Amino acid sequence: MEDEKECVVTMTRKTIAEPIQITFRNLTYSVQIPSDAKRKSLFAKKPTSEKLILKGLTGAFQPGRLTAILGPSGSGKTSLLNVLAGTTTSGDVGGDIYANGRKVSGAAVRLISGFVFQDDLILGTMTVREAILMSIKLRVPNMDDVAAAEKLDEILSLLQLENAADTVIGTATRKGISGGERKRAAIAMEMVTDPSILFLDEPTSGLDSYTAIMVVHTLQVLARSGRTVVAVMHQPSSEIFHMFDDVLIMKDGQVTFFNEAEKAVDYYSSIGYPCPLYTNPADFIFMNILFHFDPSATSTGEARQKADEKERSRLEEVFRAWQQSKLAQELEQTTRQPLLVPITAKMFKFRSSFITQFKYLLKRASKNAMRNKMIVKVKLFQTIFFALLIGLIYLRIPNKDSVSAQIQDITGSLFFVGTNQMFSTSMPTISIFAEERNVFLREHGGGYYGLSAYFFSKIIVELPINIIMPIIFSAITYWMIGLQADVGKFFIYMVVNVLVALCGSALGIMMASFFKRLQIALAVTPAIILPLMMFGGLMVNNGSAPPYFSWIQWISPIKYSFASLVKSQFDGLVIHGQAVGPQQLKALALDGGFSIVANIMMLLVIWAVCTTLAFLSLYRLVNKSNGKQFGARRGLKKELLSEPSPEFCTNSPEKPAQAISWE
């Protein structure tokens, strides 16, 4: 035990952080929610009303201290964390936020802080070592391999992850590390930048008591290294409650207590809520102060209304008692005499260069693809199954006696192979990308890498399987169907199938990026492919199609696929001594128009357009989910590097209010 303690102390001394004090005054946060009012017209926007989430909060988070934000669901604790950490992407923020006396926005705070979300979204096929090393390489520019390895070992030791370092994180179908190790791995990935501030949203959620205590102990170690550590907690055990230095207790967006955890019981006792002996303070606060059960509250009508009014009146007294308390006045004074230690540029989080990002993302995506063997097996099975199915349905067309039957089967098979490639690549791509999308959004929002590096690495890694599978499909179907035994024509058949598959894959990424819900993306995609299929050249004669729909043919990859293959196969086709190519091309309105090469070029154009639209859809999703926190870095840095606000420059300390103890 002594050895473990000495190890922790040594590591802490090595990783001492620059002190950052976060203060806020009269902080408000409101969002627009749908109202019950009726729309003025069918096309008018749905009416909304403003809901105030945070109601004029004032407080300070100190360096070297571990602070818990407590409160029931809907109290605003997570909203407060998100506002201070700059992770909100909607709503209106009011009031003032300061970092060491410098007025800043939440987005600026994000440059000098780490944020650990409640759900630990880490790519499950990676080991703990690989995940942390990837974070180092992407977020600590210009660090050589030796220094990166030393930093990795330091973080593994600090967070006690040495034994799990070479174990995979784990997925839904593959067992990995435990819940506590996964949480500590998520913390480790944020610690690679040595942030002065660490925000955590319910870090013990879903963990057993022992594991939860271990996680909070880790947070204590990080706080003792000089960091400002703030964690949202729901309802901690008695032991965990007393592990925190300070607690901020909220209800309905207001403060009921904000001071040292050890003072909470005495404070509530002083306002008429004495905590019984041998009772968990957190349980008592939740059940007797933040909530007060009244049997009449479960009834209806007038009794229910009176009970609600009584509860509101009681809570108003609790809020008022805090506002008038000596502790609240001391807290107010602290916010007016903040820490004024300079903020330096070395505290900022940076991304590596585009080349470095692309290199490591390509490496990670390749490993992920190779380790997801089940996906490859399923795709291979699907490819062979549909190839054999189509091959058996149209088996050996030249052996049929009827000329019309051969023509019908040739055109039908050539049309169906293109349709199959669109469906068989777009739908699985949606499902696979949707699983990884949330990890991407989390990492991009955390400043790991840029959109372009991720997108192009993803496209390149997907290329081999999107090329190999259509080649296998082509090799099986071409000879089973009995198309013309010509190497050149087989090559055209194979190239066309590959290009249609690439178009389908790009469409899948675009749909998975455009729609947040997987079910909607899977439902809408067939509705998009269906018109492209209808105007693909077989079901509707494009030469006589209605003008208000005929334009669809020009954006249909199935049309260019069908036209290429039909022109290739009917060129020189003789059935029972009869040349049928020219007549059939004329019947399908394909006797003119683009050549085979031009049709293939159009498939390349559609693939490029679909890929561009997929990128733009992902760009839209990123801005909607993460905002542009890292887009205006120069202005955010200016906020942090500026001089303290003039109101603080006369009587504020330049040293932390609380000395950091290493004992």
Four-CA torsion 288, 290, 292, 293, nearest 10 degrees: -110
Question: What tens digit of pLDDT does each residue of 195-252 get?
Answer: 999 999 999 888 888 889 999 999 999 999 899 999 999 889 999 999 999 999 999 9
Q: What's the CA gap between 422 and 389, in Å, rounded? A: 17
pLDDT for the residue 580: 76
Indicate the domain borders of the chain.
Answer: 1-9+19-36+47-112+195-347, 388-445+464-617
The rounded percent of the chain whose pLDDT value lies above 70 is 89
The answer to whether 164 and 320 have CB atoms below 8 angstroms apart is: no
Q: Which of the two residues, 583 and 141, has the higher pLDDT score?
A: 141
pLDDT for the residue 142: 83
Question: What tens digit of pLDDT does each residue of 343-355 get?
Answer: 887 777 777 889 9
Which residue from 636, 19, 17, 661 is spatially nearest to 338, judged by alpha carbons? 19
pLDDT for the residue 90: 82
pLDDT band, very low/low/confident/very high, at 36 (cuts 50, 70, 90)? low
Over 60: is that where the pLDDT of 10 sits? no
pLDDT for the residue 291: 78
pLDDT band, very low/low/confident/very high, at 591 (cuts 50, 70, 90)? low
Q: What's the CA gap between 286 and 289, in Å, rounded? A: 6
DSSP secondary structure, 384-448, as one string: HHHHHHHHHHTTTGGG-S-HHHHHHHHHHHHHHHHHHHHHHHHHHHHHHHHHHHHHHHHHHHTTS
pLDDT for the residue 164: 92
Can you tell me the mean pLDDT for 590-595? Answer: 73
Residue pointed to by tokens 């903020």:
343
pLDDT band, very low/low/confident/very high, at 37 (cuts 50, 70, 90)? low
- The DSSP bridge partners found for residue 251 are 254
pLDDT for the residue 650: 62
- pTM as predicted: 0.84
Question: What tens digit of pLDDT does each residue of 73-120 get?
Answer: 889 999 999 999 988 878 899 999 999 999 998 888 988 899 999 888
- CA distances 620 to 45, 379, 609, 615, 616, Å, are 21, 29, 16, 9, 6
Question: What tens digit of pLDDT does each residue of 40-73 get?
Answer: 655 566 777 889 999 999 999 999 999 999 998 8
Which residue from 109, 107, 79 is spatially nearest to 197, judged by alpha carbons? 109
pLDDT for the residue 654: 53
Can you tell me the mean pLDDT for 448-475? Answer: 94
Residue pointed to by tokens 């490591």:
360
pLDDT band, very low/low/confident/very high, at 627 (cuts 50, 70, 90)? low
Over 70: is that where the pLDDT of 151 sits? yes
Residue pointed to by tokens 């006797």:
591
pLDDT for the residue 628: 53
Q: What's the CA gap between 457 and 459, in Å, rounded? A: 6
Answer yes or no: CATH 3.40.50.300 is held by domain 1-9+19-36+47-112+195-347: yes
Over 90: is that where the pLDDT of 128 sits? yes
Can you tell me the mean pLDDT for 271-285? Answer: 89
**Which residues contact residue 449 at a Cβ distance below 8 angstroms, ignoring those fewer than 6 apart?**
138, 351, 352, 357, 361, 443
DSSP secondary structure, 348-389, as one string: S--PPPHHHHHHHHHHHHHHHHHH-HHHHHHHHHHHHHHHHH
Q: What's the CA gap between 23 and 335, in Å, rounded? A: 6
Looking at residue 298, the DSSP 8-state letter turns out to be G
Q: Which of the two residues, 273 and 296, has the higher pLDDT score?
A: 273
pLDDT band, very low/low/confident/very high, at 590 (cuts 50, 70, 90)? low
Question: What tens digit of pLDDT does each residue of 534-564 get?
Answer: 999 888 877 777 888 889 999 999 999 999 9
pLDDT for the residue 374: 87
pLDDT for the residue 42: 57
pLDDT band, very low/low/confident/very high, at 362 (cuts 50, 70, 90)? very high
The answer to whether 492 and 596 have CB atoms below 8 angstroms apart is: yes
Q: What's the CA gap between 27 and 88, in Å, rounded? A: 14
Determine phi and psi for 209, rounding to 5 degrees. Answer: -60, -45
The answer to whether 96 and 68 have CB atoms below 8 angstroms apart is: no
Within 10 angstroms of residue 130's Cβ, the number of other Cβ atoms is: 19
* Element containing residue 260 per DSSP (H, E): strand 254-260
**Which residues contact residue 305 at a Cβ distance below 8 angstroms, ignoring those fewer than 6 apart?**
none
Over 50: is that where the pLDDT of 642 sits? yes
Planar angle of CA 93, 98, 103, nearest 5 degrees: 80
Weakest mean pLDDT among 113-117, 281-285, 407-411, 648-652: 648-652
pLDDT for the residue 89: 76
Over 60: is that where the pLDDT of 461 sits? yes
Q: What's the CA gap between 521 and 510, in Å, rounded? A: 9
Determine phi and psi for 84, rounding to 5 degrees. Answer: -70, -35
Q: Which of the two residues, 36 and 267, has the higher pLDDT score?
A: 267
Within 10 angstroms of residue 326's Cβ, the number of other Cβ atoms is: 9
Over 50: is that where the pLDDT of 659 sits? no
Q: What's the CA gap between 27 and 104, in Å, rounded? A: 13
Q: What's the CA gap between 387 and 477, in Å, rounded? A: 6
Can you tell me the mean pLDDT for 300-307? Answer: 68
pLDDT band, very low/low/confident/very high, at 629 (cuts 50, 70, 90)? very low
